[in-house]
Amino acid sequence: MAQGTGERPKLKYMISPAEFFQKAYEQFMVACRSSGGPHQVSFRLAQKEIHLFFASPSLIPVIVPAFQHLKTSLCNGKADLEIYLWDYQSTGIPMVQPPWGKQDYLPKGAIKGYNKGDIRAIYLFDRNALSLVNFTCDKAIYWVPDARLVPYFETGAPLLGILPQWFFEKGKLFIHAGAVGVKDKGVLLVGKGGSGKSTTALRCLKHHSLYYLADDYCLLDFEPPIQIHSVYCSGKLDPVQVEASSSLKLSLYNSHRLRNEKALFLLFPLMANRLVKSVPLTAIFIPKITGKGHTFLSPASPTDAFRALAPSTILQLPGFGHKTSEMIAKLVQAVPAFYLNLGNDPELVPEVIYDYLVEHP
């Protein structure tokens, strides 16, 4: 972010977080007037109505595709959360000069003075995106310098500076996990990057009776029974795996950039009938690549499940800490966990998952 990367600006007075949020919102309104906005898109996630307001159309194809399976037509209904989005390049309107300097940046994009209380600010450097969340009025702001430069992984999993924070305040937890299931129950796929979560989740699309919820991030609602909510209709694979996924090729978003990027698939609308929005959680699977023999399940302890899930969730999502650990500890005690030992028969992996789901309540 050009603003806020140097020393703390010398202002006549230090504005409060609430004042900064208000000034940023006023800049959004100026951007709307200069660009013909706002343009509204609405979606429903975990029984919450979320309305996106774009100052110009430039960010719509960047942010909206991953939420297409959750879109609603309730554009005039009451929103549980409103998010205001704009970029400088298409509107000519910059972000307000932030009242912080480079010394105020904390781990995972949090910002000193804006990491607690009613107003939160997160700057994700890899996305060059500033996010503000106002919990008193359930409104948020998203700003980037140039919509054309938003990286592909933001399109695959947008608004990570806003949605995890806001839902956390509502008692729901974003987690770093994949999820698949049948129509009335599902399993989490957990583990660090490279453990086989994405490959396993996307492979399940080949099974006629399995449904897809996530490959990387999903939302958990802890009200009994624990529910898995699909957030994004996207998935990522290493480019070398694309040829083996011919059924997914028509959903490939970045086919011309695979030398430098993972393959990003946007599964709606072509695979809409294989997507499910929410299912009760039945078990936690920890993929484990063995590369030999057949694929099979073996028991895992709650501690094993915690170690596979907690570190990556806490490290990847800003603002998560001790309370998150407590919630995950509660989760792994509530449902059984298994190692999903991935053998040399990848095409049979979905069958192992399906057999477990139909055989267990």
**Per-residue pLDDT, 76:** 64
Residues 6+ apart with CB under 8 A from 46: 167, 172, 219, 221, 227, 229, 278
Q: Residue range 3-16: average pLDDT?
A: 54
Q: Which pLDDT band, with edges at 50, 70 and 90, does 4 fall under?
A: very low
> For residue 237, what pLDDT is reported?
92
Residues in CB range of 176: below 8 A, 6 or more apart? 190, 216, 217, 309, 312, 313, 316, 317
Q: Give the Cα separation of 152 and 157 in Å (integer).
A: 9
74 pLDDT band (50/70/90 cuts)?
A: low
Q: Report, as an integer, the average pLDDT of 6-23.
A: 72
Q: Is the pTM of this model over 0.85?
A: yes
Residue written as tokens 């290493």? 238
Q: What does the pLDDT read at residue 5?
A: 39
Q: Which residue bears the tokens 């298994």?
A: 338
Q: What average pLDDT does range 168-176 have in this prediction?
A: 94
SS3 54: strand
pLDDT at position 1: 56
Which among 293, 292, 323 is positioned nearest to 310, based on CA atoms?
323
193 or 33: which carries more pLDDT confidence? 33
Q: Which residue did the predictor score with more confidence, 347 or 53? A: 53
So what's the pLDDT on residue 190? 96
The dihedral formed by the CA atoms of 348, 349, 351 and 355, expressed in degrees to the nearest 10: 140
pLDDT at 105 over 80: yes
The residue-averaged pLDDT of 26-32 equals 98
Is pLDDT of 229 > 60? yes
Question: For residue 319, what pLDDT is reported?
Answer: 64
What is the pLDDT confidence band of residue 75, given thresholds at 50, 70 and 90?
low
Asked if residue 241 has pLDDT above 90, the reply is no
Average pLDDT over residues 225-249: 89
Q: What is the mean pLDDT of residues 152-158?
A: 97
Both tokens assigned to 20: 């900064």
Please state the rounded mean pLDDT for residues 185-203: 90
Which of the residue ranges 157-166, 250-259, 314-323 would you say has the lowest mean pLDDT? 314-323
Write down the pLDDT at residue 19. Answer: 96
For residue 2, pLDDT over 70 is answered with no
The answer to whether the bond into 225 is cis (omega within 30° of 0) is yes
Over residues 137-157, the mean pLDDT reads 97
Average pLDDT over residues 141-166: 96
Mean pLDDT score across all residues of the chain: 91
Region 16-27: mean pLDDT is 96
Q: What is the pLDDT of residues 264-288, one digit of tens each?
A: 999 999 999 999 999 999 999 999 9
87 closest CA partner among 51, 126, 135, 128: 128
- Distance CA(244)–CA(234), nearest Å, equals 18
Name the residue with higher pLDDT: 75 or 208: 208
Specify whether the CB–CB gap between 327 and 313 falls below 8 A.
Answer: no
pLDDT tens, position by position, 287-343 = 998 888 899 999 999 999 999 999 988 887 766 677 899 999 999 999 999 999 999
DSSP code of residue 233: S
Other Cβ atoms less than 10 A from the Cβ of 240: the count is 9
| The most confident of 98-107, 108-117, 141-150, 317-326, by mean pLDDT | 141-150
